[in-house]
Structure 1
């Protein structure tokens, strides 16, 4: 049985897999993860892999949590210069976010060697894979982050109402901000996709559905980091 954990910037998700099949899983915070680990059968045949984009303090807390609940040492995935023939564009490969690296590995595991991977979360990352090589990527503020930055760093952009997602011109401040942040992300993703017309597009993350609804074409796939962890464990 494999315990797979994805610790992102704002949320924690986990899965239990048996022979590649998800048999349990949820999301929450570190406390909820600890409670779930404690509920597992003691002495079970578990292997654990973790993707963590937070700092060493969080990783240390996770190690203690696993040792206490399951008596096993988790494997922490890292970004490397190469894995099973896939190369990393970063000169300092460890600086590539491990969640991005694992999403790339997940796409390779699906048999794709040329792809664009859009992860629309707290930050929106876009990575480009060409003939099995990661050639680089882009990082944008996610929609909520961009909206919050406008409010925090201006005196007069203020609103409380919730408005529909749109890229059309707004008729009030809330609509203008909403359309502006979504149009920025929409236009950027469309431009990047246009530069690699033969690449298969994968869209994941919390805002994947909204991007697709706006017209960004691609396969909406959740759980790429988990799939990448599974693949990484097979070859590590």
Structure 2
């Protein structure tokens, strides 16, 4: 079995993958801490042969995690942001400072489509751009849905936007404070993503596939006007690409990867930008 760990600052996700069949056998999430309890927080390590780790939590968490796993598992791989990997050249001035979850998303997207825009909708919303040919241009970071609500200090922080809401409902003016905040936050997120995506394609003269990942990917993606694909396991896809174990992975396949989304013409995007600049 292969255990993939996506360790975040507050929440850590895991996925158990069968090596022979490439099937996902189990998955889960726990609050991030330094001492894991095999069989409770994560699967029983007696059945695990390989562990692949993405970590954006404190370095102490990674040190303790790797130390524990190395005593019980044959092979432990830790992803790190590098200056270049799998044909992608990291666009950060100091490559190691790019969040490894973003780096893995870029690697997965590039492996699938040879140039793309990756939007990760979590505590923060990040956007990364990589051109055909592998040049990572850097990206953008803005507050996620919950952080935007918290910033207004209107006692709405613990009331999430209903993930089953229809985009048309969230686009209209709210008739009570709770709805006004939720709709405003939602429109800020989707409008910013649409705009930044269109501007990036216009600036670099390339219409790129758009992938959306992260915990809020489903609700945000439904409101986007730009063609896109939701890829919830994008970090895991990056781990598969960087540390291939199964035959399918060695052949470049990533479990759960979506069909590459269609793209609009550059002319269509530029017309939209020209119109919006008049508003």
RMSD: 2.4
Q: 2: CA distance between counterparts of 1:121 and 1:178? A: 16
Shift of 1:25: 2.2
Report matched runs for 1:1-236 at 5 Å: 1-17=1-17, 18-19=19-20, 20-30=22-32, 34-36=37-39, 37=42, 39-41=44-46, 46-67=49-70, 70-72=72-74, 74-110=76-112, 112-131=113-132, 132-151=134-153, 157-159=154-156, 166-195=170-199, 196=201, 198-216=207-225, 217-234=227-244
- The verdict on how the C-alpha distance between 1:143 and 1:64 changes in structure 2, with shifts beyond 3 A counting, is same
Structure with greater strand percent: 1
Tell me, yes or no, if the aligned pair for 2:36 and 2:65 is still in contact at 8 Å.
no
Q: Secondary structure, in 3 states, of the residue corresponding to 1:5?
A: strand
Q: Given that residues 117 and 202 in structure 1 are in contact (C-alpha distance below 8 angstroms), is that contact kept between their aligned partners in structure 2?
A: yes
Distance in 1, matches of 2:242 and 2:125, equals 23
Aligned mates of 1:210, 1:30 — CA distance in 2: 24
| CA distance in structure 2 between the partners assigned to 1:223 and 1:162 by the alignment | 22
Post-superposition CA distance 1:162-220 (Å, at most 9, x none): 77551322222212211221111111101022222721011111111111222343101
Tell me the matched-pair count: 226
Q: Matched residues in 2 for 1:75 and 1:134: separation?
A: 23
Report the TM-score when normalising by structure 1: 0.85
Q: Which has the higher contact order (CA 8 A, sep 6+)?
A: 1
What secondary structure, in the 3-state scheme, does the structure 2 residue paired with 1:34 have? coil
Relative to the length of structure 2, the TM-score reads 0.73
Unaligned segments of structure 1, at least 5 residues: 152-156
Change (3 A) 1:229 1:162: closer
CA distance in 2, matches of 1:142, 1:163: 12
